[in-house]
A and B are shown apart, each in its own frame.
Chain A
Amino acid sequence: MELCVNGEKLHLPDGATIQALLDHYKLQSVRVAVELNRDIVAKKAYLNTGLKSGDTVEIVTFVGGG
């Protein structure tokens, strides 16, 4: 399936979850927040939230700011 993750196209095997997406990028769930099609996904739902082709995902973290 084809996803749009942080504005970039990504191919993942069908049936992948949010957790699989984070694993793909080697990201720790404790350091990020995830939006799936503009809705925030709670951390405890990462394992059970499946993705489908055409989904738009945002993965954000904290950076330096004032």
Chain B
Amino acid sequence: MTSTTLKIGPYELQSRLIVGTGKYSSLELMQQCHHESGAQVVTVAVRRERLLDKNSGRNILDFIDPQKYILLPNTAGCFNAEEVVRVAKLGREMLTGSGYRGADWVKLECLGDTKTLLPEPVGTLEALKILVKDGFQVLVYCSDDVMLCKRIKEAGAAAVMPAGSPIGSGLGVLNPNAIRIILEQLKENDPAYPIIVDAGVGTASDVAAAMELGVDGVLLNTAVAGATEPAKMARAMMLATESGRLAYEAGRIPRKLYATASSPWEGRINV
């Protein structure tokens, strides 16, 4: 028995885990972690080609199988709408006709500053509107502000992706209450609308807890790439995503203050 599938933009996904490609000590290790994670979508960043020191000519795409993975280009490192739109278009151009899937969508990331790496809401909304008009399916990294998430959905985002906690912090979902309200508000009369927790998870229990809230998926990078044994953590994240989702779909029992016996009272021999 497996959990239900997830539809985002043009893609229907069996795996609800999206993983990054950054911070790995080698491209071979990244490849192994992608495999262990069971993810079908991997994020990539757009950067200037290194013209002089070409890193022995190896390109990250040589380690990502186009049959197995859909690429999700991000706009990481952008601090205003103009930069976001420019980078999104470059990512689309690179994927167009490349043999890889993913040219039609983008992970919008518009940051406020380099220390917090928190999303900048005004630039995020501004860039979103431009990208939607340009035909992109936009997955929007944002803060866990309920009203902002509503505005982002209304502006035509393909998915809203609130941060659980700051990027790379490993703090997990700091405000599950906000995520619950976001889920209620954005999924009202639209239960399939995708909400992804993007950023901040540190270990498997953080992912399972996020999934048990009812989010549609988790996007992570550092929690795997920075683990002592990344491939093991990738496997753990795959299991946590699936088990958290199954638990959500199964419907947990209510919390109670006192005990309820599991064995019957009737028929005890010591009465």
B89 partner residues in chain A, CB cutoff 8 A: 40
A6 partner residues in chain B, CB cutoff 8 A: 48-49, 51
Shortest CB–CB separation between residue B199 and chain A, in angstroms? 7
**In the docked arrangement, what's the CA distance between A22 and B8, Å?**
35
Query: Would A62 and B221 be within 8 Å (CB), given that A6-B48, A25-B49, A32-B49 are in contact?
Result: no
Does A2 lie at the interface of the complex (its beta carbon under 8 Å from any beta carbon of B)? no
A7 partner residues in chain B, CB cutoff 8 A: 48
* Dominant secondary structure of chain B at its interface with chain A: mixed
Chain A 13-27: CB-based contact to B (< 8 A → 1; otherwise 0): 000000000000111
Pick the contact of B199 from A28, A33, A66 — CB < 8 Å? A66
Most buried by A among B20, B43, B45: B45
Question: Is A33's CB under 8 angstroms from B93's CB?
Answer: yes
- Which of B68-76, B124-132, B177-185, B202-210 lies on the face that meets chain A? B68-76
- Chain A residue nearest to B98 (CB atoms) is A30
Pick the contact of A60 from B24, B47, B60 — CB < 8 Å? B47
Shortest CB–CB separation between residue B57 and chain A, in angstroms? 8
Shortest CB–CB separation between residue A26 and chain B, in angstroms? 8
Question: Is A64's CB under 8 angstroms from B21's CB?
Answer: yes
Known A-B contacts: A27-B49, A66-B22. Give 18 more (CB < 8 A): A7-B48, A25-B49, A25-B54, A33-B46, A35-B90, A38-B86, A42-B93, A59-B49, A59-B51, A60-B47, A60-B48, A60-B49, A61-B49, A61-B94, A63-B21, A63-B22, A64-B21, A66-B199
Interface, chain B (partner A; CB < 8 A): 20-24, 30, 43-49, 51, 54, 57, 59-61, 71, 73-74, 76, 86, 89-91, 93-94, 96-98, 167, 199, 219-222
